[in-house]
Amino acid sequence: MNRPGQSVPPVAPAQPADGRRRRRGSHTKGRPSSPGRYSVRPPQSATAIKTKSRWTNIITLVIAAVVIVALYATYTFFTNRNEHGHASGDMSVYGNSFDTAKYDLQKPWLDTPSDVTFSENVGKMSAMMKQYTEGMTKDGEPIAAVYTDPALTQRYSINVSEDKDKPGYVNIHAASFAPCANYYDPGEKKLHAQSFDDIVANDYFVGDSCLDRQLNDDYFAGDGSVGGKFIGFERYFLVVYYGENGEKLAKPKVTYFTVYDDKHDLGAPQNVKATVNKKGEVNVSWNPVEGATHYRVYLRTGGKIKTKDASKQERNQADTSAQDTYLLAKPTKNSVNLSDWDPTKAPGFRKYLTGALDKADEQFKTGHVYSDGPIYQNMQFANLFFGDSEDQGFTPGGSETLEENHSSYQRSLTNTSLLVVAFGEDEQKTNSPATQINITSMLSQVPLGPAFNAMMDESNANKEYITYLTVADGLTRVVPRQYDWSTAKVTSKGVEVTFHLGQTKMHSTQVLTDKGSTVEEVKARVEKESAAVQAADKQTGLMSGGSGTIDWDDTTGDVSKTVDLSGVNGSIEYVKYIAANLMQDRTYMDITKYYEQAGAPTVKDAVDEAVAQNPLLLHTYAYSGTKSSGGKVYLKVQYYDDSFGSDTAKVREQLDKKADQIVAKIITPGMDDRAKAVAINRYLVDNFAYDYDTYRNEMGDNRSGGREFYVKHKSNQNASGLLGTYNGENLSLTVCAGYAKSYKLLADKAKLNAIYVTGTVNTGTSNGGHAWNKVKIGNQWLVVDSTWNDTGSGSSDEYTLVTDDSAVIRNRGQVYDHDEIVDAKLADYGIS
């Protein structure tokens, strides 16, 4: 039954009638107490009869009341239920991840079948939408979508079709798909991917179709095709963007739903993390799952690149592209380096690569370049985007420079993710729900192959010391050439030497004709000139932290005490709760209240934000674990960086007072937010200095650094630089994380709405991990980068209060990480 304002209930799939009745229980009376004899009852008195009659009436009334309550309960239950599930009035399943000013939360639908079909009234849009499986309007806007996370970032593939029998309605159900293989099994020594023969026959182009390598996957599709089912996740969110009048809703309708016929014996993998090392290898790790014998890692893809020709509306549209799912690896441990499973590891790839490079050489000789290949690293991540890559859209020597071409492309891949599933010996009977993490922001660090068009361009001075890669999001990344002088030799044309593209496995050769006549002369000159080029790079310096084993014997803090959530930063209460505990040096805490909310972010997501947005913690990198005990869920946080050790609380108190003093000096009465933002930037530029020596000698290539690094360089990754000195050490000498953390602390003190953010940027000769800030001025979140404003010769405002789509930001190829704010709130801060 539908009530006004409710979503239309899902349409029930056809179900065969059971036809069975509940078996009646046997009933006996007057059973003899002994063989052949019956008990004899004496006559009852009148008083006894009256007493019995009174009790009979009471019992009758009680039974009648119970029957009435049962009938009412049955009516209420079936009023909110049909044969495929039931509506629930428990709105707490949404948690606190949804802003009710932006979303219209509907009653949850629980226990639907996995092949459920939802019916929604979207008015005229039912007939006006494009007839694609993803269900978009003609302008590219989604009619509806289903997500597996409350952040609404992890899309599940669906079909949206017009209901021919109900004008104005559309039917929404899971799309059919069959996962595809895209890996080389190092144990079997067998390739499960597109064959090299097919690649060569296709002119060395790695095709994006997986029809020739679909899996008979026991998890997603036991029969080789899912057949349109919601499988693998504990809950889903249906979002409908259009209303009954056919107009876009100001507040999209969100319906939380679960399925009953997708049960799992194992717990979902926790704390899934994906990183890219300096070689460009993708590493995935997670907590071990009890009872699991092995795991599977899947890639779910979908997305497109938008160029400068796209309208502003098109640029801002969500990615609604159809998705494919690929199996990447089948590890037995709780971590995997995907390079070990890269199809390029298969025997025969060297022959394929030789043919592709030969073809590329032919193209070079004729003045053309073969942009489609070769792809010879991270082949699992090829073809994640639709359309041409940035390099394919660039013409060497044309009217546009590399920088202009780069700024005309926009990253819009929003639904690329990794899924990890745990299995027992019998995969069909013993498995876990899938844990899904979005890796979109990571794709800019995953190299695929040379960007040949960019490499051929001659417009960039000193270009002989840098080179270009196409990365997994389709864009071009600049990296330094890393020369291997052990391969150098003198030839008739000059000194020939092998170089690697950055620190990746990809390499080529270069003939240096005018640097000297001997290897020693050429090496000395090249190293001097390349060092000068790299010295002109913009500053970065973000480290990547590290991980370790959780020490459950260390239960620092009293979990029975309440915590004061005021005075700490967090986009949601869960984050504030963690931050408040950490500010009181309580690294062990009871998170049951938040952990069990269906809409809660992952523990890692919440811990990452708590540490990032509370600079007084004096930590930047933490890892965590959870355990259940006595019906409670406990969180343990451990820091990777511990610059001040046992002095942390004392230094925190000193830093707190110092920040108050600075703000009292630089922020004057009547200052608006814009003036405050400028004043804080100027203070940092005037009082900090960039630590070039440490960056160049100890921090290259976004290394994680050992724990001792953070003790040696105490202010490198935190806000302690505001203290000036500590035990004789100059703390004002720092890198980008120190600038950005300090900006965040001063902004907090000045009542300026700002956040600490990280990502990657093009420094000039490479892409580096970087930290900066976003500040809210009016209704707009703007970039402030005090590190890049510190030119060493006075304050600059080039990177002060600029938009993400401004030329200065687009030219640096800025990509945000998603680690500093929980996923559900990223959009609130203008982070995509």
**pLDDT band per the 50, 70, 90 thresholds, residue 416:** confident
SS3 state of residue 160: strand
Find how far residue 199's CA is from the centre of its chain: 31
813: left (phi over 0), alpha (psi -120 to 50) or beta: left
Rounded CA-CA distance 486/507 in Å is 14
Rounded to the nearest integer, the mean pLDDT of the chain is 79
| 793 residue type, one letter | S
Give the tens place of pLDDT for each residue, 337-379. 999 998 878 776 656 555 555 555 555 454 443 333 344 688 8
380-389 mean pLDDT: 73
Domain limits of the chain? Answer: 89-176+227-263, 645-829
| The domain over range 89-176+227-263 is classified in CATH as 3.30.70 | no
Predicted confidence at residue 3, as pLDDT, reads: 37
**pLDDT band per the 50, 70, 90 thresholds, residue 5:** very low
pTM of the model: 0.70
161-173 mean pLDDT: 90
Checking if the pLDDT of 383 tops 50, the result is yes
Q: Are 766 and 792 in contact (CB under 8 A)?
A: no
- The DSSP code sequence of 291-321 is T-SEEEEEEEE--B-B-TTS-HHHHHS----
Token pair of 768 as six digits: 């580096």
By DSSP bridging, strand 158-162 and strand 155-156 are unpaired
- Per DSSP, 155 falls in state E
Share of the chain above pLDDT 90, in %: 33
Give the residue from 727, 695, 719, 721 showing the smallest Cα distance to 709: 695
Q: Which residues of 174-189 are buried (b: 16+ CB within 10 A; e: fewer)?
A: bbebbbbbbbbbeeee
More confident residue, 581 or 466: 581
Rounded CA-CA distance 158/322 in Å is 8
Predicted confidence at residue 537, as pLDDT, reads: 72
Torsion angle (degrees, nearest 10) of CA 287, 229, 207, 143: -110
552: left (phi over 0), alpha (psi -120 to 50) or beta: alpha
| 72 residue type, one letter | Y
Give the tens place of pLDDT for each residue, 280-304. 899 999 989 999 999 999 998 765 5
Lowest mean pLDDT among 47-56, 403-412, 452-461, 533-542: 47-56
665-691 mean pLDDT: 95
Strand boundaries in 630-778, DSSP class E: 632-639, 689-690, 725-726, 729-730, 733-734, 754-762, 767-777
**pLDDT band per the 50, 70, 90 thresholds, residue 414:** low
**Element holding 746 (H helix, E strand):** helix 736-749
Q: Are 530 and 305 in contact (CB under 8 A)?
A: no
**pLDDT band per the 50, 70, 90 thresholds, residue 6:** very low
Q: Which residues pair with 624 in a beta bridge?
A: 637
Predicted confidence at residue 80, as pLDDT, reads: 45
* Cβ count within 10 A of residue 654: 15
Predicted confidence at residue 180, as pLDDT, reads: 79
Q: Are 623 and 548 in contact (CB under 8 A)?
A: yes
Rounded CA-CA distance 701/364 in Å is 31
Checking if the pLDDT of 515 tops 50, the result is yes
Q: Are 483 and 499 in contact (CB under 8 A)?
A: yes
Strand boundaries in 630-695, DSSP class E: 632-639, 689-690
Rounded CA-CA distance 239/519 in Å is 64
Rounded CA-CA distance 359/357 in Å is 5
Predicted confidence at residue 78, as pLDDT, reads: 43
Checking if the pLDDT of 703 tops 60, the result is no
Lowest mean pLDDT among 261-270, 596-605, 633-642, 815-824: 596-605
The two most distant CA atoms of the chain are separated, in Å, by 130
Q: Are 112 and 84 in contact (CB under 8 A)?
A: yes
Checking if the pLDDT of 19 tops 50, the result is no
Count Cβ atoms within 10 A of the Cβ of residue 775 and give its class: 0-12 exposed, 13-18 middle, 19 or more buried: buried
User: Residue 216 to residues 181, 223, 254, 281: CA-CA distances in angstroms?
Assistant: 10, 6, 33, 28
User: Residue 95 to residues 90, 219, 601: CA-CA distances in angstroms?
Assistant: 11, 29, 9
Rounded CA-CA distance 674/697 in Å is 37
Q: Which residues pair with 324 in a beta bridge?
A: 301
Q: Enumerate residues 6+ apart whose C-beta is below 8 A from 258.
A: 108, 109, 110, 111, 112, 234, 235, 236
CA angle 307, 411, 419 (to 5 degrees): 140
320-346 mean pLDDT: 84
Q: Enumerate residues 6+ apart whose C-beta is below 8 A from 827.
A: none
Q: Which residues of 279-291 are buried (b: 16+ CB within 10 A; e: fewer)?
A: ebbbebbbbebee
Predicted confidence at residue 767, as pLDDT, reads: 74
776-785 mean pLDDT: 96
Predicted confidence at residue 28, as pLDDT, reads: 37
| The domain over range 645-829 is classified in CATH as 3.10.620 | yes
Token pair of 239 as six digits: 């979002």
At which residue do the structure tokens 């170089």 appear?
Answer: 499
Predicted confidence at residue 464, as pLDDT, reads: 73
Token pair of 726 as six digits: 């500590």
Checking if the pLDDT of 643 tops 70, the result is yes
**Helices 673-687, 648-666: crossing angle, 10 deg rounding:** 120
Q: Are 651 and 726 in contact (CB under 8 A)?
A: yes
71-88 mean pLDDT: 57
User: Residue 657 to residues 537, 679, 722: CA-CA distances in angstroms?
Assistant: 35, 19, 10
Q: How many residues does the chain have?
A: 832
Q: Are 420 and 284 in contact (CB under 8 A)?
A: yes
Is the alpha carbon torsion for 783, 150, 226, 142 positive or negative? negative
Give the tens place of pLDDT for each residue, 547-574. 666 777 766 666 767 888 989 999 999 9
Rounded CA-CA distance 800/791 in Å is 13
